[in-house]
Structure 1
Amino acid sequence: MSFAPTPGWLDWERNRSVPDLQLPVGTVDAHCHVFGPGDVYPFSPTRKYTPCDASKADLFQLHEDLGISRRVIVQATCHGTDNSALLEVLRTAPSSSRGVVSVSPEITEKELSLLHEQGVRGVRFNFVKRLVSRSPFAELKLIADRIKAFGWHIVIYFESADLPELTDFLAGLPVPLVVDHMGRPDVSESAAGPEFTSFISFVDRTSAWVKVSCPERISRSGPYAQSGEKHVYEDVAPFARRVIREFPDTVLWGTDWPHPNLKSHMPDDAVLLNYLAQITESDAQLRRVLVDNPTTLYWA
């Protein structure tokens, strides 16, 4: 079966530049995806978008080129609850790969145990309204109760405007939380402003882990500074720096490759590495974000 990408879909960048930043040994990409190939791992019939193929071979090549040692594959909505493409990555590189899956409430304890043995450590729930038909409150609570025994966590994806209606529910869950992309803040506001301060309070209240990922998805100014300096996504950087400063031991980073559903531009993944130099203040801090923290969460 062949799949045509959604009209206007931006394909991932194959002609990457050479990054200025050298990553520490053991760097983890804590948020990346695989799509298809569609003729091998068909996309969900209920998907909201159809991506281009982005195979495990493509992902491994990206990581080799950038100097990334390990990876956490996060299930995307286009594959629904069929985690086959993700699990193929875990089978291919079991010691250097972990997974965050999507599952149905009907999943059995035996099936969860098998996923754990294969390297799965979390379940993702999407609250972004343009990507899901409804908010999955009931399913999330049921699954959170069932994965607690395995020491898994819940990965949540939401936009900043939706956090007030989610806060109390998420704070009551019995498992750790991991927040994708800093809760997608509105970077036209200040990182010290009330909306992002509310997000910081939510993280403090729930002891959530936070991914300082996806500046290309959050930025309004675009990848390059108006001044022509070697700064990238500079409107997002203050938000990431605040998270790293306030929660140094529970910050994660990921490429979000192959960057699904972007509309404005497709980033050069080497440029995204250079962005890390803007949001970290020392080699020790960089190592904590890229190596120590994800190792604690996924390989402890």
Structure 2
Amino acid sequence: MKFSLGPSLFFWPKQQVEDFYQQAKESSADIIYLGETVCSKRRELRANDWLALAKDVASSGKQTVISTMALLEAPAEIQVMRKLCDNGELLVEANDLSAVQLMHELKLPFVVGPAINCYNLSTIKVLLKQGMTRWVMPVELSGDWLKTLLAQAEEENIRDQFECEVFSWGYMPLAYSARCFTARSEDRAKDDCQFCCINYPLGRKMNSREGEKVFVLNGIQTMSGYQYNLVNEVNAMKDIGVDIARVSADSEQAFAQLEQFKRQLSQPQQYPLDGVNECNGYWHKIAGMSIAQQ
């Protein structure tokens, strides 16, 4: 079983991004994803910068994957996506079906990211015909659902045609919108956002009237208010056939989480989850904000 570092979903200054990925090169991650997946207005790093950074990370010997945006709203964004997809060197994570189509036209293998709604074997088969070699399960699905789907893939003799990756730690990306919620929270129009999401390196917390952490606002992306944590499910994931567990690049805390996840293979133990900041409900088919009783 391998462990990946997912793309950073937040808007950070260029130097912070570069410093983070220098640490990533030295981390225990087997696979590193990077690239802007949320908003094209986040231009601290442009397409050429991301590609240069990705190639630098790849020089460390780790598999490096360039991630595309999940919501495209303008022709210019499609041109940027085309440049990323046709980079001539790096594997691409497609987070939108237009990227899937482009990779198919280029006859290149690709990863299907968690933003693409792939919920059954029929869709898996379609994506395999398009060129998919790795599939990241949508974050809201359960372990039982995944076990059933992977068993079906075995029965159809296609399981060896793709790797399965599970988002296992971090604030979960739940939804995307053409509206910018961070700008709205500061009474700004989206066209005059002044890039205010850079002021919230871990997003802007949104609580219920009762004070419960409901969501994290991250530009046009709505995320979970709690950090998902499947550290206690690592060996269960391995047993049902998961190839890769993903730790999201939320912060430098991700590197410690990678170590903790990897230790579960050789020194398994039950970690108490913090009910104030963490959840694992989706995996256990209960409310996503909840923690399943061990």
What is the TM-score of this pair, normalised by structure 2? Answer: 0.49
Q: Which has the higher strand share?
A: 2
